[in-house]
Amino acid sequence: MAESERAQRFRGGDARRGETEHERLDRNLEELTGELRVVVTGVQVLFAFLLIVPFNSGFAHIGAFERTVYLVTLLLAALSAVCTIAPSAQHRWLFRHDDKRHLVFSSNRVVIAGMAFLALAMCGCMLLVTTKLFGVGAGVLTAGLGSIPFLALWFAIPMRRAAALGREQRRDG
């Protein structure tokens, strides 16, 4: 293959992997859907758990603070479900419209938002349960300390690595 043909073939693709832009987008969408199989199940279990909590007889004995935490946590879990299921819904609407690039990039952003909502909902669950068991102070402390792994592993470390890779690409490019 001549060098100009090779450059044309990989424009927008990934020459290191030997794939065209369409092949890369197909791979990216497949990777995203594989990841979402794991995430969506967890989101649905959390949301289902939160939906049944008010029907537990002990729920009637919680205070205003716990009710507020519950409602906010339920809404965060719902937003997480909306965001993590959205790529499938968007794919159905955009199917056969040759708009995979938009689908992959917009889905990535929506899923990241969904992961943020999920992290907040999980911290809300820790706050709710710990507050019920040990009081507001212990609940706030547990939720605060419990948020650190989410912040570090789901956001700070990947964002730091992405920034370093971006600097590296700009330097090499």
- pLDDT average, residue stretch 86-106: 87
Q: What per-residue confidence (pLDDT) applies to 4? A: 46
Q: Does 45 or 98 have the greater pLDDT score?
A: 45
Q: What per-residue confidence (pLDDT) applies to 172? A: 85
Q: What per-residue confidence (pLDDT) applies to 12? A: 58
Per the domain annotation, does 11 fall within a domain? no
Per the domain annotation, does 52 fall within a domain? yes
Q: What per-residue confidence (pLDDT) applies to 71? A: 97
Q: What per-residue confidence (pLDDT) applies to 15? A: 65
Per the domain annotation, does 1 fall within a domain? no
Asked if pLDDT for residue 3 goes beyond 80, the answer is no
User: Mean pLDDT, the chain, as a whole number?
Assistant: 89
Asked if pLDDT for residue 93 goes beyond 90, the answer is no
**Which structural domain, as residue segments, surrounds residue 111?**
21-172
**H-type alpha helices, 3-152:** 3-10, 21-52, 64-94, 100-134, 136-149
Tally the domains of the chain.
Answer: 1
The conformation of residue 14, written as its DSSP 8-state character, comes to B
Q: What per-residue confidence (pLDDT) applies to 6? A: 47
Per the domain annotation, does 73 fall within a domain? yes
Structure tokens at 140: 């706030």
The conformation of residue 17, written as its DSSP 8-state character, comes to T
